[in-house]
Chain A
Amino acid sequence: MDIIIKFLVAAVGAGTPLLFGTVGEILTEKTGHLNLGVEGMMSIGACIGFMVGYYTDNFFLALLFAAIAGACSALIYAVLTVTFMANQNVTGLTLTIFGIGFANFIGIFVLNKSPEGTLKLPERITAAMRGIHIPGLSDIPVIGELLFSYSPFVYIGIIIAVICAYYLNRTKEGLNLKAIGENPGAADAAGIKITKVKYINIILGGAICGIGGVYCSMIINGGVWISDNVGGLGWIAVALVIFANWQPSYAILGSFVFGALRVLKYYIPQSVFPFPIAFYDMLPFLMTALVLVISSMRKSGRINLPAALGLNYFREER
């Protein structure tokens, strides 16, 4: 029983960076722009957030600058694909390569200057980030650990996802955004300012990814800087967007399920289930394939894939 609770707690921890990446990418894709640069935006957010935390000892400044850094990197993507209509896939991939390289460059540059030969955030910050403790609530057995023991990032991520779900489905701006993703020509004719909406949402998506990145450098790596610290999570987030059917509310569930599948290999008793480790590495992606198959077979349901995803909107060609 105890180990099951520990497993669930670990699953939530493993799912949190994916939640940020996924929600950020959903916002971006709803504009009709497929941004494959999630890994890059997360890396830049991880790097800038970490460095700000390292030099200022301030958790909230770190979070803020991670979001700003993610937003700036998304701005590069937005300028290239929205204004200059560059190929979205190529731009996104380039952003990934650039982002990882940029983060490692800055990291090594600062590392070389550090007298200890390592970059470690002060314990004051890392302790605050690792887990909250609400007197009373956190002490309830089982429930306290399952609901009130996580890093502040977990709650921030869930709140952002809920806000995004509300924004996309219940507000005028969100519906405008969805219209652009489905048919930018019609949205344009309806008087929606396409370019402005696209810029705002791509940048917001980047900011959310940036926060996910700083989770990687601060929590996953225990506040010690290492290169390549996002480690491919951005790519899993891109897959999770499909898993979550482009809905932020599903993204919460999806990212925790993915997180659970990712830590399963460490918690499942090997003596009972003697599968090779590689099998567990495959599970999240097997699940994605299954979800795709099931959702396309369902007659009543529909796939929320924005119809204009991946196509640049060129008004004169309308």
Chain B
Amino acid sequence: MKKLVSLLTVSAMVISLCACGGTKTEEPAETTETAVEETAQEADASTEATEETGAAAGVMPAIAKEDIKVGVIHITDPAEGSGYTYTHDLGIQGMQKNLGLNDSQIVRKNNVSDSDATAIENAMRECVEEGCNIIFATSWGFMDTCEALAEEFPDVIFSHGTGYKSNGTNFNNYFGRIYQARYLAGIAAGLKTESNKLGYVAAMGQENSEVTGGINAFAMGAYSVNPDCEVYVKVTNSWFDPEGETQAAQALVDLGCDVIAQHCDTPNPQTVAEQNGVWGVGYNSDMSKDAPGAVLTSVMWDWSVYYTQAVQSVIDGSWTGENYFGGMADGLVDIAPLSDLCAEGTQEAVDAARKQITEEGFNVFDGVIETNDGSTVGAEGSTLSDADITGSMNWYFKNVVVK
């Protein structure tokens, strides 16, 4: 009898547990559904409103500055060092300052792995739930998630960095002509080198247009002031490999290179240059703080230019959903102030080239360009298209050596 009673109570408890669990899982689902419906309705209502007024040229409704909320998805932690995320976050901080937003209007999601689709989606959904109107996803691997969520949340803008897709309304990509800054850095390096060998630590090989375009621009800048110099390239085959970046830089120094430039994530190539008593060109942020004894200048992004413009356009209601590809004239890319280590006359040469790029329409990849396998690219009197620069730059300039 006792057994029977206890059995009954236990089964009753189990059933009640199941029941509770069941309702618990159902509840949030319902709320999100209704939330989605509501937001969808709101979106409809607001688009109608803009259609009626017809004032704004943009495709999204204007949002008052006090109400705007900006989400940021970072691949690592912005606090760390000098690299990629750090510069993006400086851009966000700059935008916040330029527009006078307060801290609660910026939502950051840090350390979102770009290979973990669930983590990316969760981070973005959290941003949406916290009321973000525009979400900046700063790394390449976030693009497809952005595209999918842009469809699900039509009233939230997804702006993705360094990719190429766009849906013309609430999903776009932004990137910049970093090669223009690399051209200037090449001038500084070409004037400094004594061995006429420049080293370049590259994250990816020839198949990657972004990296290869950067190498070419650097090589062309160096060639423009020093036709005898060569650019030696070592590929780490990883976007983040501290040990490999050190080893690649050391190998370049061992080959006799005396200026080490880089397109990777850590300041390691520059610290290696400093330890070996040669010079370096940093990337992302001003790396003279990491290797003051070596860095001539650094190729830098100023993302605040884009972030400010994008958020301002949302406030004004002039957001167009078009892809953004800014350059030196916009202030998006530049080099850090030249250090005292630079050769004499570098400032003048750099200033002249900067003027050519920003005022005289020089676009680095102009005219016929000789590659290092003996063929040529481009045509006289024209410049390579943006699609070629971002998508099919798979050749090296003639003074680039892969050894």
CB under 8 Å from chain A, chain B span 38-84: 76-77, 79-83
CB contacts (< 8 Å) of B250 on chain A: these are 10, 13, 266
User: Roughly how many angstroms separate A277 CA and B236 CA in the complex, as a whole number?
Assistant: 8
Nearest CB of A to B60, in Å: 35
Interface centre among A227, A263, A269, A281 (most CB of B within 10 A): A227
Of A216, A221, A277, A281, the contact of B266 (CB 8 Å cutoff): A221
> Is A94 on the interface with B (CB-CB < 8 A)?
no
> Is A222 on the interface with B (CB-CB < 8 A)?
yes
Number of interface residues of A (CB under 8 A): 42
CB contacts (< 8 Å) of B243 on chain A: these are 14, 216, 220, 231, 233, 262
CB contacts (< 8 Å) of A118 on chain B: these are 81-82, 267, 289-290
User: Roughly how many angstroms separate A108 CA and B83 CA in the complex, as a whole number?
Assistant: 14
CB contacts (< 8 Å) of B255 on chain A: these are 3
A10 touches B247 (CB 8 A): yes
Interface centre among A116, A221, A270 (most CB of B within 10 A): A221
User: Roughly how many angstroms separate A275 CA and B400 CA in the complex, as a whole number?
Assistant: 18
Interface centre among A7, A104, A130, A224 (most CB of B within 10 A): A224
> Is A107 on the interface with B (CB-CB < 8 A)?
yes
Nearest CB of A to B57, in Å: 40
CB under 8 Å from chain B, chain A span 16-63: none
Of A116, A227, A265, the contact of B289 (CB 8 Å cutoff): A116
CB contacts (< 8 Å) of B274 on chain A: these are 222
Of B79, B271, B402, the contact of A224 (CB 8 Å cutoff): B271
A226 touches B254 (CB 8 A): no
A270 touches B402 (CB 8 A): yes
CB contacts (< 8 Å) of B182 on chain A: these are none
A107 touches B80 (CB 8 A): yes
> Is A300 on the interface with B (CB-CB < 8 A)?
no
Cβ proximity bits A201-241 to B, threshold 8 Å, 1 near / 0 not: 00000000000000010001111111111010100000000
Nearest CB of A to B270, in Å: 8
Number of interface residues of B (CB under 8 A): 35
CB contacts (< 8 Å) of A281 on chain B: these are 237
User: Roughly how many angstroms separate A97 CA and B403 CA in the complex, as a whole number?
Assistant: 38
A231 touches B77 (CB 8 A): no
B237 touches A222 (CB 8 A): no
B242 touches A104 (CB 8 A): no
Nearest CB of A to B296, in Å: 17
B81 touches A225 (CB 8 A): yes
B79 touches A108 (CB 8 A): yes
User: Roughly how many angstroms separate A37 CA and B365 CA in the complex, as a whole number?
Assistant: 50
CB contacts (< 8 Å) of A229 on chain B: these are 242
Nearest CB of A to B258, in Å: 15
Cβ proximity bits B256-297 to A, threshold 8 Å, 1 near / 0 not: 000000000011100110110000000000000111000000
A220 touches B80 (CB 8 A): no
CB contacts (< 8 Å) of B242 on chain A: these are 216, 220-221, 226, 228-229, 231
> Is A278 on the interface with B (CB-CB < 8 A)?
yes
Cβ proximity bits A272-285 to B, threshold 8 Å, 1 near / 0 not: 00001110010000
Known: A222-B268, A266-B234. A227 touches B76 (CB 8 A): yes
CB contacts (< 8 Å) of A225 on chain B: these are 81
Nearest CB of B to A1, in Å: 13
Please give me the residue from chain A that is nearest to B207 by CB atom: A276
Known: A116-B289, A117-B289. A227 touches B77 (CB 8 A): yes
A112 touches B240 (CB 8 A): no
> Is B251 on the interface with A (CB-CB < 8 A)?
yes
Of A222, A263, A265, A278, the contact of B271 (CB 8 Å cutoff): A222
In the complex, the 3 A-B pairs of residues with the closest C-beta atoms, listed nearest first: A222-B271, A266-B251, A6-B254
> A6-B251, A108-B77, A224-B268 provided; 7 other pairs, C-beta below 8 A?
A104-B77, A216-B243, A221-B268, A222-B291, A262-B247, A266-B250, A276-B205
28 interchain pairs, CB-CB under 8 A: A3-B254, A10-B250, A14-B247, A104-B80, A107-B80, A108-B79, A112-B79, A116-B289, A117-B289, A118-B289, A126-B275, A216-B242, A221-B268, A222-B267, A222-B271, A222-B272, A224-B268, A224-B291, A226-B83, A226-B267, A226-B268, A227-B77, A231-B242, A262-B243, A266-B234, A266-B250, A270-B402, A277-B205
